[in-house]
């Protein structure tokens, strides 16, 4: 059974700090990795995609991928109270577009 694991949190950080969210996955053949943000009562919103080892930056968000260690992380710089949400990691099973989602990490940014 292919798995994607995340710490459920809550992860609490003060406003302006860096929030670091982690995700590990079991399928060594996975080639693409996605981070979704989900506000309470809303549907998931795609915020980052990463396909190659290393870092990918988009505004205040940085995704980091290490395929050898099978983890992907999301850094949020200058965290704002509006970043408070659940962050879902999604990893397609190798050879398919079937996403396996983690349970999500709840982030709370304290003003």
Partner 1 sequence: EAGVAQSPRYKIIEKRQSVAFWCNPISGHATLYWYQQILGQGPKLLIQFQNNGVVDDSQLPKDRFSAERLKGVDSTLKIQPAKLEDSAVYLCASTPPGRPYNEQFFGPGTRLTVL
Under 8 Å between Cβ of 51 and 33: yes
Taking the complex as a whole, the smallest distance from the CB of residue 96 to partner 1 amounts, in Å, to: 7
> Counting contacts by CB under 8 A, is residue 73 touching partner 1?
no
CB 22 within 8 A of CB 7: yes
- Residue 13 or 48: which CB sits closer to partner 1? 48
SS3 readout for 32-83: CEEEEEECCCCCCEEEEEECCCEEEEECCEEEEEECCCCEEEEEECCCCHHH
User: Is 53 one of the binding residues for partner 1 (CB under 8 A)?
Assistant: no
Q: How far is the CB of 105 from partner 1 (least distance, A)?
A: 11
Does 45 contact partner 1 by CB under 8 A?
Answer: yes
Which residues contribute to the site for partner 1 (CB under 8 A)?
Answer: 4, 8, 31-32, 34, 42-46, 49, 51, 88, 90, 92, 96-99, 101-104
């Amino acid at each position: 059974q292919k798995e994607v694991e995340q710490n459920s949190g809550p992860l609490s950080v003060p406003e302006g700090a860096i929030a670091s969210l982690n995700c590990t996955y079991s399928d060594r053949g996975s080639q693409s990795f996605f981070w979704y943000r989900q506000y309470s009562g809303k549907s998931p919103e795609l915020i980052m995609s990463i396909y190659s080892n290393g870092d990918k930056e988009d505004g205040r968000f940085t995704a980091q991928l290490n395929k050898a260690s099978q983890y992907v992380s999301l850094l949020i710089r200058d965290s704002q109270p509006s970043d408070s949400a659940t962050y879902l990691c999604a990893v397609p099973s190798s050879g398919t577009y079937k996403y396996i989602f983690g349970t999500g990490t709840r982030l709370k940014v304290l003003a």
